[in-house]
Amino acid sequence: MAKSVILTGLRANSEFHLGNYLGAILPMVSLQHAHSDEYQLNMFIPDLHSLTTPIDYKKLHNQIIENLKIFIAAGIDINNKSTYLYRQSYISAHSELAWILDCFTHFGEANRMIEFKEKSKRIGNESVSVGLFNYPVLMAADILLYDAVYIPVGEDQRQHVELTRELAIRLNNRFKTEIFTVPHDWKKQMKFLSYSNGVRIRSLRKPENKMSKSVSDPAGTILLSDKPDQAAKKIMSATTDSLKKIDFDFTNQPGVSNLLQILALLTDKDQEVVNRQWRGKDNYADLKSEVAKTVSTFLEQVQTKISKVSSDTVLSKLISDELAMSKVANEKLLTVQRAVGLRADK
């Protein structure tokens, strides 16, 4: 590839909510606009990863299309020649390389993954799949197929990136050839992507937790499909505190701080500017009203933009890019297959 690659996965299943939009979608838009001249941006849909936990399988395909519409509505330029959108399951090299990498991954390495242990507790050990255990190896294949050097992920995925680096180095050393490009280490990842101050939108009802599409917290989550007046009611019912003062302090006032954070992000203002505007005031209802109005306007605008993105446009982009990325992935897979003896040398 002519340019170094930034690779990121876009959620395949479940609806997006306001926290996803502000904390994940907008940063991807900014990433494309800031770096597409210098880097190739691979934005793939990890639909195989979606099968590692229980989902509504009948909705998966359509949800992928709907979620991509949101990225486009948010500002992703699908006509950018350095940006590729593709579905993981439509490029078989992902699964084939994952199996080869499995055979070079030590059981102890995979068993140390904290993300697996935490998800296993939530799901219940009897229902945990081998796919969930194997998730980091497939993720390594996703990255190594395209020689990606930067992978925008959160701290919860740090071990997976480190495993990817270890596997790349291991196979390069084992077969005494540069089969894989080794992604940059975590320090360089964080410096380049400026993830140290990542946005984390909280639940409106349980502000000690992040906003999440959960059956146990519907009132605390604003879905991008919510009607504007419905979202406004959720804001007006948001949990605050009994301190009777407005301050940006997530330790002592997480509910109030969350509202200030949402207001700053949706009005595209510096957080401190918004904080100064409200600091010291004691009327939480006024703050909630302002945030409710801002969220309602945002939903009206974004839903209008989403409605203008056609499914045909999304599918056309996917089909075109999947053809291009299949060629790249298959070339890398063949290199690996030859190295491990599955194919004849040139």
Helix (H) / strand (E) containing 327: helix 311-339
Compute the Cα dihedral for 174, 178, 180, 185 and give only its sign: positive
Q: Is 308 a catalytic residue?
A: no
Contact 196, 190 (CB under 8 A): yes
Contact 207, 280 (CB under 8 A): no
Catalytic residue among 3, 58, 59, 119: 119
Residue among 338, 341, 327, 323 at smallest CA distance from 146: 327
Torsion angle of alpha carbons 32, 34, 38, 42, nearest 10°? -20
Distance CA 63, CA 69 (A): 10
Beta bridge partners of 83: 41
Catalytic residue among 117, 121, 213, 327: 213
Task: Output DSSP code: residue 49.
Answer: G
Measured CA distances, 182 to 125, 211, 270 (Å): 34, 34, 36
Distance CA 256, CA 209 (A): 14
| End-to-end C-alpha distance for the chain, whole angstroms | 21
Residue among 79, 138, 148 at smallest CA distance from 113: 138
Catalytic residue among 191, 210, 281, 293: 210
Helix (H, G, I), strand (E, B) or coil at 176: coil
Q: Is 288 a catalytic residue?
A: no
Q: How many CA atoms, within 13 angstroms, populate the side-chain half-sphere of residue 76? A: 26
Q: Is 119 a catalytic residue?
A: yes
Report the catalytic residues.
Answer: 119, 210, 213
